[in-house]
Amino acid sequence: MLQKRIFLLTLCLGFLFFSVPSAAQIRPGAKQAALSQSDIAAPCDVFSIYFNPAGSKLFHTPQLSFYYAPAPYGLTELKQFGVHGLLPFNDSFTMSAGIYNYGFKLYHETHALFNISHNPHRSVLLGLNVTAQNLSIERYGNSFALRIDAGAIFLLSKTITIGLAGTNITGSEYSDSENSIPRILRTGISYQPLSLIRINAVIEAETNFEPAIKIGSVIKPHENFSVRSGYNTLNKEISAGLSVYFAGVSFDYGFTYHRYLGASHFTGVSLPDVTSFF
């Protein structure tokens, strides 16, 4: 049984690192997982900042969010955990910070992120992430890297927003290691045709991989409940999830299904949940 699990883990890790874009990169958030990370133009909670740093400026009250993925693709060795807090500094600037963990003893990543965002114009939001990353591989030691991400959100109208973001715009790499950090460009749009419905679409281009189109939708039929769904064209991965809002707290669940690797489950809690894009 143990040998079978080791074989499955090795097979899964090999497939992830060599066939799936950004597989070795932490991708936090239960809501984000349910939307296939399509919310770069309309952040649904503070974990969206990881994908577009400008999103933090859309939150006007202090935020604290947690997420946990106990066994992505059925493997506890790939578990993820993250916490992110946000504090509006003044009318022009917002700051936030988070810590994220991924992996197990053999392969483990820790990311510590600091974010700052600014609105030079009421319809233009700009943001910057500085992330310190530590990579630990058993028998190979630790490697460190400092990564910078940048992003922008343009509020074209009350129903349409555009998002642009770049991950690792400096081209940083881990020290003393051949493991590179992905460089990713994202362009997205969000449209709210009705007060209870929002539709997202993102084109994501990562170095050495074909571009992916990610689509997602949110329906909020009741003030205390919302449903999400998404699809990633490159991995042909479907996603879904829901949120329940109670006493100012959002309890979130996300589900993804990869055609080869199977299902993953994500949970999250946000305190408080105050956002224009549910």
Are 162 and 84 within 8 A, CB to CB?
A: no
State how far the Cα of 73 lies from the Cα of 122, in Å rounded to an integer: 42
Across 101-106, average pLDDT: 89
Which alpha helices (DSSP H) does 139-254 contain, by range?
none
Across 264-278, average pLDDT: 81
Q: Which of 74, 101, 102 is nearest to 12 (CA)?
A: 74
pLDDT level of residue 23 (50, 70, 90 thresholds): very low
pTM of the model: 0.89
pLDDT of residue 277: 66
State how far the Cα of 39 lies from the Cα of 164, in Å rounded to an integer: 11
Are 242 and 229 within 8 A, CB to CB?
A: no
Q: Judge whether 278 lies within some domain.
A: no
What residue ranges in 63-172 does DSSP mark as E strands? 63-69, 80-88, 93-103, 107-121, 124-137, 141-155, 160-167
Q: Judge whether 223 lies within some domain.
A: yes
Q: Please tell me the total count of domains within the chain.
A: 1
Listed as own residue / partner, the contacts of 81-88 with beta carbons closer than 8 Å and 24 or more positions apart are: 82/26, 82/28, 82/29, 82/47, 84/28, 84/46, 84/47, 84/49, 84/50, 84/113, 85/46, 86/46, 86/49, 86/56, 86/59, 86/62, 86/115, 87/62, 88/59, 88/60, 88/61, 88/62
Across 118-144, average pLDDT: 92
Q: Judge whether 276 lies within some domain.
A: no
Residue 249's domain is classified under what CATH number?
2.40.160.60
Q: Which of 235, 243, 276 is nearest to 43 (CA)?
A: 276
Q: Judge whether 54 lies within some domain.
A: yes
Are 59 and 271 within 8 A, CB to CB?
A: no
Residue 21 is part of which domain span?
Answer: 2-271
Across 195-212, average pLDDT: 93
Average pLDDT, the chain: 88
Are 114 and 139 within 8 A, CB to CB?
A: no
> What digits encode the pLDDT tens for the residues 47-86?
999 999 999 999 988 999 999 999 999 899 899 999 999 9
Give the β-pairing of 93-103 and 225-232: unpaired
Q: Judge whether 128 lies within some domain.
A: yes
> What digits encode the pLDDT tens for the residues 231-246?
999 889 999 999 999 8
Q: Judge whether 277 lies within some domain.
A: no
Residue 266 structure tokens? 């994500």
State how far the Cα of 27 lies from the Cα of 254, in Å rounded to an integer: 12
pLDDT of residue 6: 47
User: What percentage of residues in the chain have a pLDDT greater than 90?
Assistant: 68
Residue 203 structure tokens? 């084109």
